[in-house]
Copies of this chain bind each other. A is one copy, B any other.
């Protein structure tokens, strides 16, 4: 156990409860074999950006959540891609999203490991998932090398929209180049994923996913024309511009020249 905190050790009254719980969920994911070491480092990068964004959901993120919802509800075959970090952090929310959209969850990880893929699948099933797809060695995406190119023929391969939160830039780019829409959640508005996706939610996934679920429930009854209007008025560039402005110091410098 290396003497580190688990989710059970963190009192609900702790001022940094959410951040510590999130971190503990990921380190538990590593101990269970789902989450990679590189996943922990990537999470640390996210923490730093979240810190600079004030650790709150901004208006620009709410606009992206609205557009993501409209995409989900107008797509023919939306698919939810799951990696070792999202499985550890928000398994129940991913399962609920899959239920609401009647979409498959598909395990897709950066570093090849059949064991990790099965552990992630079992973790999602333990959280109520009914359908979890794994990659097939004979089905590949173009524009990608490495393990990330293998996908499932009933999942990402036939999807017109893929939800790939906490993803790498190459993969996001390959999905876009192959004609798919991509929704991502990424705390770094400068990352290649953020820059490439159709809709980038610049927010902490732990805060954003419950908001996304609420929005999907609310907009579920909307007419397709209204959903298309939401999509037409959405501008991912301006979201990234505003996110970077906040990141670069909305509140001015905290260090003062003496």
A257 close to B238 (CB less than 8 A): yes
Which residue of B is nearest A41, CB measured?
B44
- A237's partner among B33, B36, B235, B256 (CB-CB below 8 A) is B256
B3 close to A111 (CB less than 8 A): yes
A40–B27 alpha-carbon span in the complex (Å): 10
Q: Which of A46-54, A63-71, A209-217 contacts B (4 or more CB under 8 A)?
A: A46-54
A36 close to B2 (CB less than 8 A): yes
A245–B244 alpha-carbon span in the complex (Å): 15
A253–B42 alpha-carbon span in the complex (Å): 23
Which residue of B is nearest A237, CB measured?
B258
Which residue of B is nearest A111, CB measured?
B3
Task: Check A37/B2 contact, CB under 8 A, given A248-B253, A258-B235.
Answer: yes
A113–B3 alpha-carbon span in the complex (Å): 7
A3 close to B254 (CB less than 8 A): no
Contacts A2-B33, A190-B255, A195-B255 supplied; 17 other A-B pairs, CB < 8 Å: A2-B113, A3-B111, A3-B116, A4-B38, A27-B37, A37-B40, A44-B48, A46-B48, A48-B188, A189-B255, A235-B258, A237-B255, A237-B257, A237-B258, A243-B255, A244-B254, A248-B253
Say if the beta carbon of A30 comes within 8 Å of chain B. Answer: yes
- A44's partner among B43, B147, B238, B245 (CB-CB below 8 A) is B43
